[in-house]
Structure 1
Amino acid sequence: MAVLNLGFTGMDSATEAELRRAFEQALPAAGGGWQLVADTHADYVVVDMDSMYGPMSWLRLHAAGKQVIGLTAAPRSQTPYRIGRPIDAGELATLLREMRGPGAEVAPASPEPPAAAPASVPSGMTPSPEPQDQLPEELPIAAAAAELPPNPDAIVEPALPAAEPPSSAVGQVLPPAPSIAPHVPATPAPPAPSRSAEPQTLAEWLASGRLRGRTRFERGGASILIDADQRHYFGPSALKPLAPLFESTGVDQSDFEPVGADVWSAQTAALGAAQPLARLVWYGALLAGGGRIVAGYDAGTRFRLTKWPQTEREFPKHFRIATAMMKGPATVAEVAQAAGVPEGDVADFVNASLATGFAEPHRDPEPEPEAPKSGGLFGRLRGR
């Protein structure tokens, strides 16, 4: 039987060891036909997309013509195949079986060097792309003609405590709740407008934490169903068709129409899987600045990514921007020059990353206090 080669890269040794154990358990259920080899000799390579090194490895492997399997806790990944977290041997067996297919024709495997032993540090790091290079995800995509696949890249929803009342309750608006307050920058900034004022846009309502239950929101021919308690929504898989929802002001409580349980079940069934509400928060912040950084930061403010964000296929330049920002703190202008993109795109990306906690302004460390002068015998002699 023809054998396919599988390798691992862009992950720490503990994760690689866990994957190896899962592979050994999954191989019999998958019907065999796979062997582990070093990632440089593998046809399919598993990459930890949740690590700092994963997206960089993904870029390198694409250039080498490899098939990439993304290991991620996110419900979506920009890779062709996905392994979820926590790692499940049964899920891995199903994936391996599906990837082989019933009549997979593969050249017999030639002897290859054994897979490298787990390394003590992540591997697969690669330089960021040059401005003139075209990244794989920047190839034209007919997003306007059809919706994205079921698994486009998305912002990862942070874990939040369960809210009361339960999600089956009809939508309502409560007094301000701090549970989903916007990310607070570490660097002091001029005070922002008070959140006690009534929200005026959908983005402000989402950030206020005052929505509860299940509601429908419509604007400009676009509509979504929001389950504020479960922190998800139902709507088109693409984000750009939802832009009209964020364009209008004067949004008040009456614009969120409560939806009963029977109607909710019928309408959500036709809209597909639930999507994290943080994705809408991210998109609202992306549009809010209109190409300018939000109020409270000047042109000299340097920003840094606290972790690698999941990027959206509709915004391919964001991968360049994130790659440039991972190098270290930089101003909007410096990131734009390094990534080869307009400053407005960088400002919008920074705004969205600040709102969702993926970025923060950089603050230089405080200077070390001066060491006290010696008071010993030689110090007293020098003082005479």
Structure 2
Amino acid sequence: MPLTLGLTGMDPATESALQTAFKVANAQLGGHWTLVPEQQAHFVVVDMDSMYGPMSWLRLHASGKAVVALTAAQRTQADYLLTHPFNADSLVRLLGEIAVQNGKSLPAAAPAPTAPAAVVEIPQQPSTDPTAALPDVVVELLQTDLAQAKAAVAQQAATSAVAPVAATPTAEVSTAPATPAPVAAAPAAATPVAPAPVAQAPAAPAPTPAPNAGAIAASSSAPSITLSGDGLLDWLMPGRLRGLLRVGSGEERILIDADHRKYHGPAALKPLSGLFDRGFAPAEFEILPAAQWDSAAAQLGAPMPLARLVWFGNLLAGRGRLAPGHDPHRRYRMTKWPQTEREYPKHFRIATVMMKAPATVAEIAEASGVTEAEVADFINANLATGFAEPEGDPTPVEPAKSGGLFGRLRGR
């Protein structure tokens, strides 16, 4: 099959930058690729972070094209991922991988550029409804195809084995009540309050440990954990964990890079649900040396944003009800298109409804054809990660009519 590449769903600046990077990358790969119009291309790059990117992806997916998602997100539902910001080197890796998959032999050694290619920065695009221009019948057909594809991917991910990581001794717990952890500076001491089930993604000041709190430390320079709260969702709040940590066991084992808000673990989320059903003592967070971290992380695959676990924890926390402080009679809307998970195909329909206009839980459930419990869980997860927000005040209940002037007079 000829290797043809098209570009769509992006602004002129991004398209021009991609064309320039493509010329450099194609030359290094031996000229196997040809840049053609979108309609003639077998592989099409779509800017998923742009205004029309998601809608372009739906259209191309329905037509059978192989889609390359250009996005700043760590994951994508497209066939291939080109991380944004990009350069010629990242395009070489992507196009080279696709070429090898299609039976092309690449040059033994690609010539190195004299100077590193400049990273392309594209301004943030405004959010919009990615399916507003599509007829409802087309959206329904696409959702059916997507559900079947996602089910197959989820089944494959669930059966893949995760290589075990060698265990190391757990760091000792030091009880020094007068001295807080050296890397977790905070204001005057105060007793921490257990957080609500919804853990907000934006950074917050680290809570001050209670007077009797200890710290996990392998040495004087080792990262530390502030003692407060038991649930994993509580521990994932910004400022609670520091350093390179390992927690859980078996299929539920994950590595947490708390300082960079990343984690390593299974690609699927559902196998990790047990981590959110129990509490964790500080000693269960095992601190790993950098050398051991590199080996363990390589076995678990590429890093993923910690906000993904925050999203999943809040999806489970409400158990079919909105988190405390949120009224089901209030209207909610998506502030931007979320990164939906393959394991939850119904979320695509919920997000589509919420992108169109603010609505209550019952209205969203009726319009998307799912249960109110599924809508409430989805709203909880996206409120916590900044993809959704409440709109206005709850709808007031209309008082019974008094019957006009004579009715009011009779009531006196």
The equivalences for 1:185-224 within 5 A come to 198-207=228-237, 209-218=239-248, 222-224=252-254
The equivalences for 1:270-285 within 5 A come to 270-285=299-314
Contact 1:233–1:275 (CA<8 Å) still a contact in 2?
Answer: yes
Q: Residue type of the partner of 1:231?
A: R
Q: Secondary structure at the match of 1:237?
A: coil
Distance 1:220 1:295 in 2: 33
Q: Indicate the residue corresponding to 1:375 in structure 2.
A: none
After superposition, give the CA deviation of every residue in 1:337-373 in whole Å (9 maximum; x if it has no partner).
2222222222111111111111111238xxxxxxxxx
Q: Indicate the residue corresponding to 2:200 in structure 1.
A: 182
- 1:39 positional shift: 2.2
Distance 1:293 1:196 in 2: 30
Distance 1:44 1:269 in 2: 29
Higher helix share: 2
Q: Secondary structure at the match of 1:310?
A: coil
Q: Indicate the residue corresponding to 2:50 in structure 1.
A: 51
Q: Indicate the residue corresponding to 2:275 in structure 1.
A: 245
After superposition, give the CA deviation of every residue in 1:280-304 in whole Å (9 maximum; x if it has no partner).
1111111111111111121222222
The 1:53/1:331 distance shift into structure 2, 3 A limit, reads: farther
After superposition, give the CA deviation of every residue in 1:153-197 in whole Å (9 maximum; x if it has no partner).
xxxxxxxxxxxxxxxxxx9994779xxx7258xxxxxxxxx9999
Q: 1:348 aligns with which of 377, 383, 397?
A: 377
Q: Indicate the residue corresponding to 2:220 in structure 1.
A: none
- 1:233 positional shift: 1.9
Distance 1:350 1:258 in 2: 34
- 1:235 positional shift: 2.1
Query: Which structure 2 residue ranges, 5 or more long, are not aligned?
Result: 105-125, 161-180, 188-198, 211-227, 394-412
Q: Residue type of the partner of 1:229?
A: D
The equivalences for 1:76-155 within 5 A come to 76-101=75-100, 103=103, 126-127=133-134, 132-133=140-141, 134-139=143-148, 140-141=151-152, 143-144=154-155, 146-147=157-158
Distance 1:351 1:68 in 2: 30
The 1:53/1:148 distance shift into structure 2, 3 A limit, reads: farther
After superposition, give the CA deviation of every residue in 1:199-258 in whole Å (9 maximum; x if it has no partner).
231101212522112333237973322221121222222111111110124x44334233
The 1:26/1:347 distance shift into structure 2, 3 A limit, reads: same
After superposition, give the CA deviation of every residue in 1:65-107 in whole Å (9 maximum; x if it has no partner).
1111111122322111222212212332343344344646xxx
Distance 1:5 1:263 in 2: 42
Which structure is richer in relative contact order (CA contacts within 8 A, separation 6 or more)? Answer: 1
The 1:266/1:335 distance shift into structure 2, 3 A limit, reads: same
With the length of structure 2 as denominator, give the TM-score of the two structures: 0.66
The alignment-based identity, stated in percent, is: 52
- 1:271 positional shift: 2.2
Aligned length: 317
After superposition, give the CA deviation of every residue in 1:258-278 in whole Å (9 maximum; x if it has no partner).
334454344333322222211
Q: Secondary structure at the match of 1:270?
A: helix
Decide which moves more: 57-66 or 10-19: 10-19
Q: Secondary structure at the match of 2:283?
A: helix
Contact 1:129–1:320 (CA<8 Å) still a contact in 2?
Answer: no
